[in-house]
Chain A
Amino acid sequence: MTACPPPERLRQFLEGDGPGEPEPGLAEHLETCAACQAVLERLTVFGAPADAAPAGIPARGDSTLQAAKSPERAAVGSENSSAVSKRQRLGDGQLHRLRQLLPLGRGKAAPKDAAREAAWPTIPGYEIVRECGRGGMAVVYEARDVRLNRPVALKMIREGELATPEQLVRFRSEGEIVARLRHPNIVNIYEVGLHHKQPFLALEWVEGGSLHEAQAGRPLPAAAAAELVEALAHAMDYAHRRGVLHRDLKPANILLAVGGLTGAKPQAAIPKIADFGLAKQVDGDARLTQTGCVMGTPHYMAPEQVLGRNDRVGPRTDVYALGGILYELLTGRPPFRGETPHEILRQVTDLDPPPPSRLLPGLPRDLDVVCLKCLEKDPERRYATAEALADDLRRFLRGEPVTARPVSPAGRAWRWVKRRPAVAALLALVVLLAASGFAGVFSQWRVAVANEHEADRLRGQAEGQRDVARRNLYQALVREAQSLRLARQPGYRERAWQLLRQAVELDVPDKDPEAIRREAAACLGDFFGREPATWTDFPAAVASFAFDPRGAQLALGLGDGTVMLRALATGEETARLSPPPPVGGAPVVAFANGGDDLIVASKRGEVQRWERRDEGGWRLADTFALGQAVSALSVTADGKYVAAGADRQLRLWDREAKRVVLRRVALAPISRVAVSPGGKWVVAAFSTPPLLGRGEGTPTVQTWEAATGRALPAIIPQMHYVFDMRFSDDERLLACACMEGAVVYRLPEMERVDASRGLMAYGAAFSPDGRQLAVTSAQEDVVRLWPFATGQDRTVLAHPGVPRRVAFSPSGRLIATAADRSVRVWNLANTPEKQILSGHVAGVPGVAFSPDGKTLASAGKDGTVRLWDPFTGVERATFARLAGEGQAVAFSPDGRLLAAGDYTAGTARVWDLASGREVAAVSDGLGDRVHSVAFSPDGRLFAVGAVPGLKVFAVEAAPEGAEPRVALRRFDKGPPEDETVGHLVFSPDGKALAWANNQGVIHVWDLETGQALLSPVGKAFARIQSLSFFPDSRRLIFLNRDRTAEVWDVRSREKTASFAASGGAGEASSYAMHLSLSPDGSRLAASSASGHGVNVWDVASGRLLVPLPEEKGIVWCLAWSPDGRRLAVSRSDGGLAVWDCDSVRRQLAELGVGW
């Protein structure tokens, strides 16, 4: 055996990449020499010196090893190589191992980092650790103060930013003033220095991030917000007393020293004010770059800053900003929001911010007042000092009354006058200011410290321009009210009307009460204009809720296991289940047994049944165990079925029968389940890899038919993660709330019907009629009502704080939304002045009040005749189903019979209302379009108008109490039967019949003499409700096609009056105009020229009283209640509403624009 080579020789051998064959003899030596092998092992260990050796020549293939193979060994080798094929990649375990062996960029900076590091300034006494921010003017480093061994933030002003020696001097002197501030709530400046002629600051290092980051758009509890701002105000007062102004207070400039806003104790964080006056555009504020605004975020800038009124900038400027911070802490948003900085600036100068409590109902009014006092446009009206603000906040925290007083609307309006006129000019200034960028520091203000009194020159100016200003104000008020209405933020009505009230109260020459009334009326009847009921005082997040089928209350399951009931009207707690159900995730609640029972299911696997007690409480009746804890749970609205997922196991229980209906093992662990309302389907969602549902055919959502166990086609959506699943009440649709929004599928094909698209949805709920889906949009803090069938007109219900749950009441009239610890209940149907009667799924051409006014009947193109309670809007019954489309509807004067036109069937039908039985049907001699039916006011006659066909019958009804039966006999003094009739009416005395024919020509027939009374006059709109008699039976009113209302005396055959009925909203169009005269003949309701609105006219004066708001559908029929108080309006889209005109009049009168 040859002698061992020196280790150096071995290393050369390993690193060399020449022909590769070691020198003769070495290979043989190595084959057998354990010592040399040991050396080689050492040399080839990862991390061995070889690693540190200069980089060798890049490897280029493997000629070395090929050459090294001896023929016979190669043969063996190739056998092996097929076993460990070249394509066999390393497994994760081996990669992990390799990761331990190979250095991967850790511990040493990438070369370019090193370059950057080299560019770090070397400042004597400091050691830079890393760069942590870079802005337009400065770079911020995390560094160590070597002498004092403490962390600091080094802020270097970038080269060229402070070019002139004067600026440098000022920077230093101002910096030194700030540096003398020593306050626990102010970030200390340790040193103001120069480095190579560039100034720098050494600041206290604060770890916790800014208030802006910590708050993240989430409202803080009122007390915590007040406490935090109180601390800031004290600190600012301290600074103010030393002549130092901040000028750029905002959440991004408030650093939090410990903890941040975690948990329930945000006050644990010590807020520290940073960036006094100096280098304030540096770093940190992402909004700055996003808006592209050189001035930084304008949200907290006081108007005097925005307007460049540096002479007015003073401590109250900082007070304004403190108010802005308080506002944002309370509501989660700054006082003004806009798309562009310009928009915000305009608002800062022009608009009063909405009181915080409007955004977050339930906030103490006192904080509203404090906030708004800080945010006054006029510095004089703010707190004089930051200390005064701190004191008021302290008073609030102690529960004492605050000193700030709310401003009266009139006061508010006056201040507006002062700031309005100059807006355009001021905006120009703002642009200038924005362009000039960094607009000086705070030295101007130093003068103000010495001289606390500032003259209110604006006041004097306003005096001189009072008249002009008033007119401007008047128009601004009306316009602003209009934009508020058009923006349709929840609860807009109060505010819009407040502005209109100010407009009414203004003494201006060209005031137009009609215009104000029109604008005010346009807000009517919109539930959205009113605030939803908001309940915020829950001890834990609301996880589930259920409407009591008996009405009046909502059951709520909270995250802490509490189950409570609250009255819908007042929000008061009516009951709380005790002992509370076992916690194990939030309980799921549902009413069962018609509302007698409350079912509470928990993830611990218990399903409790609580019985309603007579005295109002609830008693635990029994408990039903699912046998194990579950991960997903769903209970039907009637409490009958319970679906549970536990890992991969899916079970569907019939709770009442206490038996398992369906048992399935899913492909993957179940994250969500849902059972359809009647227990027909059960669906499970999985959330295992592929996590986002993309590939390999793993379904994300699997549905089964409960009765058969049949699996429906699985849904394999892309990018879906399913948060919630809901079935429609008819069990034909399934909605999945997921990452791409809500998606609706049709069962059982699982065909995708539509997707709401856009933003992530956490929760969804079908309306009871299955026509719309309420979708919670997690990122927008709103719930959208999405009529997925038509896809239009999404109503947006705002609910700050990530709304997760949503539910419709059984009637579909209420909707509840839950976000965290707050619940909002929206009434989708009712305003005091308008009831929405929803049920028809197609246009409603006929509507009539019963003679006693207590029932409303409607006939729709959907072939149904429905009866309603006109006071509550609740449907009493779907009274009848027609063969074809419904057209007209009429009550007999005694209220016992109901008649309707079966339009396409060419039939008029009569029912006995009490029994619901059809007692007569007429089709002989009628064309296939029945347009109108009417009973004479004495009940003796019944008329049917069709195209063609006009039939008048004598009605012979069986006496009351007898078997309901009606005989219709031809009335022999009736008009010619081959007339075409669009609309017909009896005169109130029953002696005359008037009709408009197919061409709109009007005829009047004397039923006593059997002769024509007036014929033919007018060119009314054809085939619509176009005629009404006055109570005197002599006069008839109709609308001419030129939109003139004409009144004719049918006896004297003269036109006695006419007025233009073309006023109100909408330009002339081709829409026909429907009309209805109030029973006392004083008011005429007519559809507007646009066809979408309804105008109410005073007949005597021809004056427009009120234009009722336009709606989507075209007005098809109008009906006054017998007392003339209510007006029913039906529309082409199935819309049906009852207006309370008394309420409308009263409300408008209160506003000062009544009639």
Chain B
Amino acid sequence: MAEVPPSQTRLSLLSRLRHAPDDAAAWEEFVARYGPKIEAWCRRWNLQEADAQDVTQTVLVKLTAKLRTFVYDPDRSFRAWLKTLARHAWSDLVADRRRAAPGAGDADAGAALETVSARDDLEKHLEEAFDLELLQLATSRVQDRVEPHTWVAFQLTALEDLSGAEVAARLGLSVAVVFKAKSKVRKMLQEEVARLEGVEAS
């Protein structure tokens, strides 16, 4: 059966921005989703709030700039591409910072940011944001394709750590149905994630 081509909103933000750099909605969402991750990274690497926000801005802008200029190699995974983006954005950031005033008042505060560990950590933070986004897409799609009860059964068993029997009691479903739901949704999610990653890579 032919796969229906995914609509733009069924792609990750990075993909959407890659295909349509001027997509305002995607940009907004991108900022909302990735901004806090980057800021968390900044704070973690010892930046004060205001500086963290400054750096966040810079990284966001650099990321999107790279997004436009960096050709995605379909031979490699999308995630690897994201890593490359992050790595380059970080390099640019550090180059900028070193070029800029080291004594502008926050020289020491920013030093940690320029370490390789910080860079790897930035990759992790961004990858996490990307994963969460991917999962959100995947779960929404799966959620839309199953009965509400199936979804809730899955949610309660898989994510809230309730036992099958407990959930069955709460939702008024049979135990067999609850386990079946959990198993089914899990499988659907795995397939969906694999599919999304495949689509991303195209």
Contacts and interface: CB of A to CB of B under 8 A. Distances in A.
Interface of A: 13-15, 17, 20, 22, 26-27, 30-31, 34, 37, 40-41, 43-44, 46, 50-51, 55-56, 58-59, 61-62, 64-66, 68-70, 73-74, 76-77, 80-81, 84-86, 89-90, 92, 94-99, 101-102, 104-106, 109-110, 112-113, 115-116, 213, 216-218, 261-263, 540-543, 558-560, 585-586, 603, 631-632, 669, 671, 687-692, 694-695, 721, 739, 801-802, 804, 819-821
B155 A94 contact: yes
Contacts of A110: 76-80, 197, 201
Contacts of A34: 165
A106 B83 CA distance: 12
27 contacts: A31-B176, A44-B158, A46-B186, A59-B184, A59-B188, A65-B184, A73-B173, A77-B173, A90-B159, A95-B132, A96-B132, A102-B189, A104-B131, A104-B134, A105-B77, A110-B78, A112-B74, A113-B77, A115-B75, A216-B95, A218-B95, A261-B98, A543-B104, A559-B103, A691-B56, A804-B100, A820-B103
Contacts of B106: 585
A356 B190 CA distance: 61
B135 A44 contact: no
Contacts of A113: 75-77, 80
B152 interface: yes
A820 B191 contact: no
Contact of B143 (A86, A116, A692): A86
Nearest to B146: A62
A653 B100 CA distance: 32
A30 B175 contact: yes
Given A104-B135, A113-B76, A739-B61, A558 B191 contact: no
Given A37-B175, A560-B103, 19 more contacts: A13-B180, A15-B187, A37-B179, A44-B182, A61-B145, A65-B149, A68-B176, A70-B174, A80-B172, A86-B151, A90-B139, A98-B158, A105-B197, A110-B201, A116-B75, A213-B91, A559-B107, A687-B50, A691-B31
B190 A51 contact: yes
A20 B132 CA distance: 32
A99 B79 CA distance: 15
Given A26-B176, A62-B147, A86-B143, A543 B191 contact: no
A542 B50 CA distance: 20
A533 to B, nearest CB: 20
A244 B157 CA distance: 70
A1066 to B, nearest CB: 44
A1007 B172 CA distance: 122
B99 A802 contact: yes
Nearest to A116: B75
Contacts of B183: 14-15, 43-44, 50
Interface of B: 24, 27-28, 31-32, 35-36, 39, 49-50, 53-54, 56-57, 60-61, 74-80, 91, 95-96, 98-107, 111, 114, 128, 131-132, 134-136, 139-140, 143-152, 155, 157-159, 163-165, 168, 170-177, 179-184, 186-191, 193, 197, 201
Given A81-B152, A112-B75, A690 B136 contact: no
Contacts of B188: 59
B184 A85 contact: no
A739 B190 CA distance: 41
Nearest to B161: A97
B184 A218 contact: no
B168 to A, nearest CB: 8
B88 to A, nearest CB: 10
Contacts of A65: 146-147, 149-150, 177, 180-181, 184
Interface majority SS (helix, strand, loop, mixed), chain A? loop
A86 B144 CA distance: 7
A732 B100 CA distance: 32
Given A97-B159, A694-B27, A694-B28, A81 B77 contact: no
B139 A95 contact: yes
A104 B96 CA distance: 33
Contact of B104 (A20, A80, A84, A541): A541
Contacts of B49: 631, 669
Given A687-B54, A694-B28, A27 B174 contact: yes
A409 to B, nearest CB: 35
A689 B187 contact: no
Most chain A beta-carbon neighbours within 10 Å: one of B56, B148, B189, B193: B148
B75 A44 contact: no
Nearest to B75: A112
Contact of A55 (B76, B102, B149, B191): B191
A46 B165 CA distance: 18
Contacts of A109: 77
A27 B176 contact: yes
A1143 to B, nearest CB: 39
Contacts of B39: 691
B105 A671 contact: no
B148 A30 contact: no
A669 B134 contact: no
Given A31-B175, A86-B151, A560-B103, A689 B35 contact: yes
B28 A695 contact: yes
Given A20-B180, A40-B179, A77-B149, A216 B77 contact: no
Contact of A66 (B53, B96, B147, B201): B147
A153 to B, nearest CB: 18
Contacts of A692: 27, 31, 57, 60
A433 to B, nearest CB: 29
Contact of A804 (B35, B76, B101, B163): B101
A691 B105 CA distance: 23
Contacts of B174: 27, 30-31, 68, 70, 73
A263 B103 CA distance: 11
- Enumerate the 10 nearest inter-chain pairs by beta-carbon distance, A residue then B residue, closest first: A559-B103, A541-B101, A216-B95, A76-B172, A540-B103, A110-B77, A541-B103, A81-B148, A14-B183, A585-B105
Contacts of B175: 27, 30-31, 37, 40
A484 to B, nearest CB: 28
A69 B99 contact: no
A820 B103 CA distance: 8
A799 to B, nearest CB: 13
A694 B31 contact: yes
B152 A84 contact: yes
A262 B118 CA distance: 14
B113 to A, nearest CB: 12
A112 B76 contact: yes
B171 A820 contact: no
A13 B176 contact: yes
A671 B101 contact: no
Contacts of A98: 135, 139, 158-159, 189
Given A102-B189, A691-B53, A68 B177 contact: yes
Given A671-B53, A802-B101, A68 B180 contact: yes
Given A37-B165, A40-B164, A90-B136, A77 B176 contact: no
Contacts of A671: 50, 53-54
B149 A81 contact: yes
A688 B52 CA distance: 10
Contact of B99 (A14, A56, A216, A585): A216
Contacts of A58: 191
A86 to B, nearest CB: 5
Contact of A559 (B104, B135, B139, B193): B104
Contacts of B155: 84, 90, 94
Contacts of B107: 559
Contacts of A59: 145-146, 184, 187-188, 191
A724 to B, nearest CB: 12
A117 B176 CA distance: 44
Contacts of B79: 104-106, 110
A805 to B, nearest CB: 10
Given A26-B176, A69-B173, A688 B53 contact: yes
